[in-house]
Homo-oligomer: A and B are copies of this chain.
Amino acid sequence: MKKQVSLIIEAHWVLPVVPSASLLEHHAIVVNAAKIVDICPMTEVHSHYQASEVIKLNKHIVMPGLINLHAHAAMSLMRGLADGVALQPWLQKHIWPAESKLVSPDFVYDGTLLAAAEMLSGGVTTFNDMYFFPASAAESTIKMGMRANLGLVVIEFPTQYASDADSYIKKGLDVRDQYREQPLVSFSFAPHAPYTVSDETFQRIATLSNQINIGIHTHLHETKEELSQSYEVHGLRPLSRLTNLDILGPNVTFAHCVHMNEVEMRLLAEHGCNVAHCPSSNLKLASGIAPISQYIQHNINVGLGTDGAASNNRLDIFTEMRLAALLAKAESGDATALPAQTAIEMATINGAKALGLDDKIGSIEVGKRADLIAVSFSDIEMQPCFDPVSHLVYVAGREHVSHTWVDGELRYHKPAESAAVYSGIEPRELTAIVSKWQSKVSEFK
When each residue 404-439 of chain A gets 1 if its CB lies under 8 Å from chain B and 0 otherwise, what string results?
A: 000001111111011111111101011001101100
Say yes or no: A421-B430 contact (C-beta < 8 A), given A80-B387, A288-B330, A326-B284: no
Q: Do A330 and B430 touch across chains, with their CB atoms under 8 A apart?
A: no
A340 at the interface (CB under 8 A from B): yes
Among listed A32-40, A246-254, A310-318, interface-contacting one? A310-318
Within 8 A of B (CB), among A335-387: 335-337, 339-340, 380-381, 383-387
Cα distance A337–B333 in the bound complex, in angstroms = 24
Identity of the chain B residue whose Cβ is nearest the Cβ of A393 in the assembled complex: B83
Contact of A424 among B145, B323, B326 (CB under 8 A): B145
| A82 at interface, CB cutoff 8 A | yes
Q: A143-B424, A286-B335, A288-B330 are in contact. Are A390 and B84 (CB under 8 A)?
A: yes
Also in contact, A286 and B333, with CB within 8 A (given A102-B441, A424-B411): yes
- Is residue A149 contacting chain B, with contact meaning CB distance below 8 A? no
Task: Knowing A86-B335, A437-B110 are in contact, say whether A420-B425 is a contact too (CB < 8 A).
Answer: no
Do A409 and B423 have beta carbons less than 8 Å apart?
A: yes
A445 at the interface (CB under 8 A from B): yes
Q: How far is the CA of A330 from the CA of B280 in the complex (A)?
A: 10
Contacts of A144 in B (CB 8 A): 422-425
Query: Which chain B residues lie closer than 8 Å to A386 at the CB level?
Result: 79-81
Contact of B80 with A391 in the complex, beta carbons under 8 Å = yes
- A316-B319 Cα distance, complex, nearest whole Å: 13
Known A81-B386, A390-B84; contact A420-B430, beta-carbon cutoff 8 A: no
Residues of chain B within 8 A of A282, CB atoms compared? 330
Q: In the complex, what distance in Å separates the CA atom of A313 from the CA atom of B399?
A: 16
Q: Is the CB of B387 within 8 A of A77?
A: no
Find chain B residues with CB under 8 A from A143 CB: 424-425
Looking at the complex, which of A90-98, A129-137, A165-173 is the stretch in contact with chain B?
A: A90-98
> How far, in whole Å, are A373 and B8 apart by their CA atoms in the complex?
42
**A117 close to B80 (CB less than 8 A):** no
- Cα–Cα, bound, A82→B444 (Å): 8
Q: Is the CB of A86 within 8 A of B445?
A: no
* Apart from A313-B391, A397-B399: 13 A-B pairs, beta carbons within 8 A: A82-B445, A83-B340, A84-B339, A94-B445, A101-B444, A107-B437, A113-B429, A114-B380, A282-B330, A314-B394, A399-B399, A412-B423, A415-B418
Chain A contacts to B: CB under 8 angstroms: 77-87, 90, 94-95, 97-98, 101-102, 107, 110-111, 113-114, 116-118, 120-122, 143-146, 280, 282-289, 312-316, 323, 326-327, 329-330, 332-337, 339-340, 380-381, 383-387, 390-391, 394-395, 397, 399, 409-415, 417-425, 427, 429-430, 433-434, 436-437, 440-445
Could you pull out 15 A-B pairs where Cβ atoms are within 8 angstroms? A79-B384, A80-B391, A84-B390, A85-B335, A85-B336, A118-B380, A283-B327, A284-B326, A284-B335, A285-B335, A286-B329, A397-B397, A399-B399, A410-B423, A413-B421
